[in-house]
Amino acid sequence: MTNSIADLEQSDCFLITGTNTTENHPVISTFIKRAVTQRGAKLILADPRNIELAKFATVWLRHKPGTDVAWINGLMNVIVSEGLLNEKFIAERTENVEALKETVKKYTPEYVEKITGIPAEDLKKAARLYATSPASAIVYAMGITQHINGTDNVKSLANLSMITGQIGRPGTGVNPLRGQNNVQGACDMGCLPGTLPAYKKVVEAAERKPFEDAWGTALPDKPGLTIPKILDAAEHGTVKALMIMGENPMMSDPDLDHVEKALKKLDVLVVQDIFPNETTAFAHVVLPSTGWAEKDGTFSNTERRVQRVRKAVQKPGEALDDWQILSLIAGKLGANWNYTSPKDIMDEINKVTPSYAGITYDRIEKAGIQWPCPNTEHPGTPILHSAAFTRGKGLFSVCEHIPPAEETDKKFPFVLTTGRILYQYHTATMSRRSKGLVSRTPDAFIEVNPADAEKLGITQGDMVDVSSRRGSIRVSAEVSNKCDKGVVFIPFHYTEAAVNKLTNKAIDPVANIPEYKVCAVNVRKAK
């Protein structure tokens, strides 16, 4: 997030899109709901599903899945044509606005209505609310990024914030909500194929150098492969060994048949985890590690706040902390690592990661600190980009609407969109072993609109077969108005109805994010 969670309580207007916040970031949703109900903040919701936040929305833009660039360009079209731009901000802080104006010209509310299904009047209303409120914040999540043009979606939101100057001040900003507890930290720590800790580029010799010095070895300068590409490479036999620390690709990745083929081709698959899961079933070596309550360390939350995780109970059996396991393997391969605790590792992180330099265990004993925090006197940074963008001037990059990779047709007439629910978490290895959570949502389901259900002869609780070009699963029907006609939703937590058997592995060319939010399926009552 560019801004802080607490900062949301200062917003006068929210544009919330691609996040079912009350279910997936429940506590953040309380900040938003309080602002709306107690301070009269406006809420623009753009979401294909009738999620809980729709109840709180001033305007709800219900677009067809996969049409985000179109409605965002549409908002900017209205803003330009009604003169609601922030000329001062544009002149001082940005470049390339002319190209943007040119691009959004054709995205008139009427044109956008045809693509997205959003009534032209609602779009206009939303544009005015967002542009003219004193402080408007954009909040988004995977509903924006999990598309073949996810990068364009994000850029379009950035354009919208810059053209109206709704960034860099309290209550504004472009705020992605990071899904899992430590996605932010895993990225910060360089678990990405192109970047070292603190996003230093592996291809830049000067950025590699401090790490080469600190680690006492030359480092590879060619960017590595992303997860989808690694799986492709495994299937083709060019990647032969895969180490997995706490991931479950046999549930979480698109097109599971393909994942299975890839994993089976490996010479060696090593999995460190806390439970047997769909992926350990293919492992050659399984190493028991410790879970959240059994280890010390830090997580970085979605607002870049680095906070302590503390050991509360003993680890089971012979399990070891993941850092200990890695140290053992590294040692066997000749490395000379001498970490005795997670704190030792953090001391090294402080030295080599400029944005974490001042975030020591001592300083975060009581309360976390938000990076960048360049030294131990620095209080941390609640708002990013308040004086300038990372690259200096904010660049408007031009994006055009493109259709999703797979469109509906006669054989597969429904759009399937996937996601999470309040009571489960990701591949559910933890949440489906929690009594309370299981009691709320024991089984997989598909949300079907009542009109579609009637046409298909499906009633509440019926078992239905859902199939795509890649596979088929059986789930029970949840007939409700949550999905619009022609759209169905299935959460991805359930192994017995693993929706990623159906999803499409088409990816965004830049971010390599798969298009989980749109694929074409057929739905039939099970025989």
Partner 1 sequence: MVLTIDGIKCEFTQGQTVYEVAKENGVYIPVLCHHEQIKPVGACRVCVVEVEKARSLIASCAMPAEDGMIVYTNTERVLKARKLAVELLLTQGHHNCITCESSGNCVLQDLVYSLGIDTPRFNEPEKLKELEQANEMIVRDMNKCVLCGLCVRACNEVQVNQVLDYAGRGPTASVGPAFGLTYENSDCVFCGECVRICPVGALIEKQGRFKGRGKDLELVRTTCGYCGVGCQMDVNVKDGKIVKVTTPREDAPAPNNGSLCIKGRFGYDFVSNPERLTKPMIRVGGELKEATWDEAISYVAEKLGSIKKQSGPDAIAGFSSARCTNEENYLFQKFLRAVVGTNNVDHCARL
Q: Which does 413 bind (CB under 5 to 8 A by kind): partner 1, ligand SF4, none?
A: none
In this structure, what token pair is assigned to residue 255?
Answer: 């097109």
CB of 153 to partner 1, least distance (A): 13
Q: In 3-state terms, what secondary structure has residue 183?
A: helix
Report CA-CA distances (Å) from 211 to 81, 279, 340: 50, 32, 21
- Cα–Cα distance for residue pair 160/156, rounded to 1 Å: 6
Question: Contact between 267 and partner 1 (CB under 8 A)?
Answer: yes
Please say whether the dihedral angle defined by the alpha carbons of residues 227, 229, 232 and 233, taken in this order, is positive or negative. Answer: negative
Question: Contact between 57 and partner 1 (CB under 8 A)?
Answer: no
Q: In 3-state terms, what secondary structure has residue 314?
A: coil
Could you identify the residue written with the tokens 């492992």?
A: 283
- Cα–Cα distance for residue pair 81/101, rounded to 1 Å: 9
Could you identify the residue written with the tokens 């596979």?
A: 471
Q: In 3-state terms, what secondary structure has residue 505?
A: coil
In this structure, what token pair is assigned to residue 216?
Answer: 């006492």
Site for partner 1 in 160-219 (CB under 8 A): 177-194, 196-197, 202, 211, 215, 217, 219
Question: Contact between 26 and ligand SF4 (CB under 6 A)?
Answer: yes
Question: Closer to partner 1 at the Cβ: 61 or 319?
Answer: 319
Question: Contact between 371 and partner 1 (CB under 8 A)?
Answer: no
**Cβ contact 514:253 at 8 Å:** yes
Could you identify the residue written with the tokens 């994942």?
A: 259
Number of residues that bind partner 1 (CB under 8 A): 146
Of positions 252, 355, 417, 468, contacts partner 1 by CB under 8 A: 252
Binding flags for partner 1, 459-498, as an x/- string (CB under 8 A):
----------------------------------------
Which helix (H) or strand (E) element contains residue 414? strand 414-419
Question: Contact between 286 and partner 1 (CB under 8 A)?
Answer: yes
Other C-beta atoms closer than 10 Å to the C-beta of 119 total 15
Question: Closer to ligand SF4 at the Cβ: 27 or 312?
Answer: 27
CB of 25 to ligand SF4, least distance (A): 6
Q: Which does 525 bind (CB under 5 to 8 A by kind): partner 1, ligand SF4, none?
A: none
Question: Contact between 330 and partner 1 (CB under 8 A)?
Answer: yes
- Cα–Cα distance for residue pair 330/382, rounded to 1 Å: 37
Stretch that binds partner 1, among 41-49, 122-130, 419-427, 468-476 (CB under 8 A): 419-427
Q: Which does 152 bind (CB under 5 to 8 A by kind): partner 1, ligand SF4, none?
A: none
Site for ligand SF4 in 51-110 (CB under 6 A): none
Residues that bind ligand SF4 in the complex, under the rule CB under 6 A: 25-27
